């Protein structure tokens, strides 16, 4: 990513960093307290193996609302941003909405805090009474307890919003500037990795049954993660324009799926293929680039074609690595495409006679390149001695035609 590209990104984002200080409702158990309970130190593990732990001072349920609010805050920021510099990078167009929601959460936190402190002293005393009554030997662990005012100073929620900019461009800050650009560049990778994580969960938990076998059908509810991924990719086109194109591919593919009722047959296979694509960040980003240069339906046809080629190759070839096969096929497609372009330009500069003579050659220059296909797509001569050149299916031929 160039310096201009990073400047373009950081000029569009606001970083929001939440800051929570919560009271755990616990206190560390000191060695002297533990010795009073067990003077002989019977069956105690050595200090190098285990720490002393803590003792609860209040019912943990009293503090759960604060943990829930903290989780809700991070979910809000994660839904609008990507982690960066200890906070979340949010597009400036969405910042105003996020800011208002954070203010609302902050007000809710203050209300919870006030309500807790009103009853905290009584809650602590009730907790201690109940435990000491049931376990009188542990009374010394529940002494010198904090009061509500002490806890009040330990609990707060705030958030910080700021713009980011690279260090000075002089030589003294060159290393820091490179680190800054590397972290901004990481936003693109994180975007596709997030999509991959959600797609992997979709495949492992929802597209298969409890026995690990592929389901015969799925419901409309199962499609929500795919649609959510598309929305998020489109949301972050300012990080990578290809992300928006990939979202268009997802939308186009989902149009092949029934809008109501169960999803099975070819439609279910399309969902499986899309989930597999998104679970591979590099391949998903690559298809987004293809969609940028062509169209959503063409890009999806290319993906289906390479997927089918891979499946057909695996039927004939022993010990094929699926990941490397797809990559090598696409590299091969790029090589043939580049050669075709150069070949076309060469033909344009020739006289009609020379051009016809070149095109009548057997094999033609294009065919010579095609014969240099990756080793992975060579058929076994012992199994198919009559097939010296791999023949793709009609679907694969049609889709790959746009490259060749």
pLDDT tens digits, one per residue of 61-104? 999 999 999 999 999 999 999 998 889 999 999 999 999 999 99
Tell me if 57 sits within 8 A of 26, measured CB to CB: yes
Q: How many domains does the chain have?
A: 2
Helix ranges (DSSP H) in 146-264: 148-152, 174-201, 224-235, 241-254
Of 129, 162, 195, the residue at which a domain comes to its end is 162
Residue 355 domain flag: yes
DSSP string, 327-372: HHHHHHHHHHHHHHHHHHHHHHTS-HHHHHHHHT-SS-HHHHHHTT
Residue 77 near residue 90 (C-beta atoms within 8 A)? yes
Task: Name beta bridge partners: 162.
Answer: 15
Residue 373 lies in a domain: yes
Question: Quick one: angle between helices 281-293 and 322-348, nearest 10?
Answer: 20
Task: Indicate whether 145 pLDDT > 70.
Answer: yes
What does pTM read for this prediction? 0.64
CB atoms within 10 A of CB 356: 11
Contact 16, 161 (CB under 8 A): yes
Residue 57: half-sphere exposure toward Cβ, Cα within 13 Å: 19
Closest CA to 278 of 254, 313, 261: 254
Report pLDDT digits (tens) over 23-49: 988 887 666 555 555 555 544 545 443
Average pLDDT over residues 313-341: 55
Which one has a higher pLDDT value, 134 or 232?
232
Distances (CA, A) of 147 to 88, 121, 154: 35, 6, 11
Asked whether residue 94 is domain-assigned, the answer is yes
Res 334: pLDDT: 62
- Structural domain boundaries enclosing 134: 3-41+48-162
In a domain, 363, yes or no: yes
Q: Which of 162, 186, 205 marks a domain boundary?
A: 162
Tokens at 119, concatenated = 């009853």
Mark which of 162, 189, 209 sits at the end of a domain: 162
Indicate whether 392 belongs to any domain: yes
pLDDT band for position 388 (50/70/90)?
very low
Average pLDDT over residues 264-270: 92
Confidence tier at 169 by pLDDT (50, 70, 90) = low
List the structure tokens of 175: 């290393």
User: Does 291 map to a domain?
Assistant: no
68 belongs to a structural domain: yes
Query: Which residue, 151, 177, 197, is CA-closest to 58?
Result: 151
Written in H, E and C, the secondary structure of 49-96 is: CCCCCEEECCCHHHCHHHHHHHHHHHHHHHHHEEEECCEEEEEHHHHH
Separation between Cα atoms, residue 247 and residue 227, nearest integer Å: 9
- Residues with Cβ within 8 Å of 134's Cβ and at least 6 positions away in sequence, in order, are none
- Low-confidence winner among 122-126, 220-224, 291-295, 380-384 (lowest mean pLDDT): 380-384
Phi and psi torsions of 86, nearest 5°: 80, 0
How far is Cα 268 from Cα 217, in angstroms, rounded to an integer?
A: 7
**Mean pLDDT calculated for residue range 330-357:** 55
In a domain, 113, yes or no: yes
């Amino acid at each position: 990513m160039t310096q201009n590209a990073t400047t373009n990104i950081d000029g569009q984002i606001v970083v929001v960093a939440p800051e929570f200080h919560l009271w755990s409702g616990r206190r560390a158990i000191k060695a002297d307290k533990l010795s009073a309970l067990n003077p002989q130190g019977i069956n105690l593990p050595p200090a190098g193996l285990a720490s002393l732990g803590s003792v609860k001072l209040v019912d943990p349920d009293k503090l759960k609302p604060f943990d829930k609010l903290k989780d809700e805050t991070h979910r809000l920021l994660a839904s609008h941003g990507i982690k960066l510099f200890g906070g979340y990078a949010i597009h400036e167009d969405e910042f105003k909405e996020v800011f208002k929601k954070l203010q609302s959460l902050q007000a809710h936190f203050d209300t919870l805090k006030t309500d807790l402190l009103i009853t905290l002293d009584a809650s602590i005393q009730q907790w201690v009474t109940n435990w000491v009554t049931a376990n009188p030997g542990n009374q010394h662990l529940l002494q010198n307890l904090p009061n509500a005012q002490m806890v009040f100073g330990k609990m707060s929620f705030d958030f910080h919003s700021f713009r980011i900019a690279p260090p000075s461009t002089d030589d003294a800050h060159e290393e820091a500037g490179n680190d800054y650009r590397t972290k901004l560049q990481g936003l693109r990778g994180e975007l596709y990795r997030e999509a991959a994580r959600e797609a992997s969960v979709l495949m492992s938990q929802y597209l298969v049954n409890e026995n690990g076998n592929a389901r015969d059908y799925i419901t409309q509810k199962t499609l929500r993660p795919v649609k959510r991924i598309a929305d998020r990719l489109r949301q972050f086109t300012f990080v990578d324009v290809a992300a928006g194109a990939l979202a268009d591919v997802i939308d186009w593919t989902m149009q092949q799926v029934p809008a109501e009722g169960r999803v099975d047959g070819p439609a279910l296979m399309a969902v499986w293929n899309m989930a597999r694509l998104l679970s591979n960040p590099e391949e998903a980003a690559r298809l987004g680039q293809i969609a940028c240069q062509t169209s959503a339906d063409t890009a999806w046809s290319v993906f289906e074609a390479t997927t089918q080629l891979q499946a057909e190759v695996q039927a004939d070839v022993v010990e094929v690595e699926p990941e490397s096969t797809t990559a090598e096929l696409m590299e091969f497609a790029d090589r043939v495409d580049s050669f075709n372009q150069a070949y076309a330009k060469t033909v344009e500069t020739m006289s009609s006679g020379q051009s016809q003579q070149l095109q009548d050659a057997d094999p033609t220059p294009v065919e010579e390149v095609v014969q240099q296909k990756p080793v992975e797509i060579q058929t076994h001569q012992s199994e198919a001695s009559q097939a010296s050149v791999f023949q793709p299916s009609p679907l694969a031929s049609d889709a790959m035609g746009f490259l060749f």
